[in-house]
Amino acid sequence: TYDRAVAIIRAEHPPLMRRSCIHEEIAQGLGLANDSPDARPSIFNDDEEFALLTTHDELLLKMLYDPRMRPGMTPEEARPVAEIIAAELMGGPA
């Protein structure tokens, strides 16, 4: 579990780059810690196509903070819960 997060963002970056860094670092500090080339559409895809949090990223944060997701769950425990939450968030059957 996280206790705290620290992000250092270079002041020399252009304004949009700084804002993008702030979005990504806050989301990572909230628990979405891994970048992935498979994450699309997402700020966590390092191809820099997406500068700010996408709807996909926001849904992942909602899933992560759903009370049914508990710290310490194994992937086997979390996967079915995550699938139910995802279906609910997308408006489909749970």
Boundaries of every domain in the chain: 15-89
Of 13, 41, 8, 39, the residue nearest 25 (C-alpha): 8
Instruction: Report residue 72's pLDDT band, with 50, 70 and 90 as the boundaries.
Output: very high
Q: Is the peptide bond before 75 cis (omega within 30 degrees of 0)?
A: no
Per DSSP, helices labelled H in 1-94 are 15-29, 55-64, 75-89
The rounded percent of the chain whose pLDDT value lies above 90 is: 47
Amino acid type, 77? E
The rounded percent of the chain whose pLDDT value lies above 70 is: 95
Burial class (CB in 10 A: 0-12, 13-18, 19+), 24: buried
Of 13, 89, 6, the residue nearest 48 (C-alpha): 13
- The answer to whether residue 48 scores a pLDDT higher than 80 is no
The residue ranking higher by pLDDT, 33 or 48, is 33
CB 43 within 8 A of CB 27: yes
The residue ranking higher by pLDDT, 51 or 72, is 72
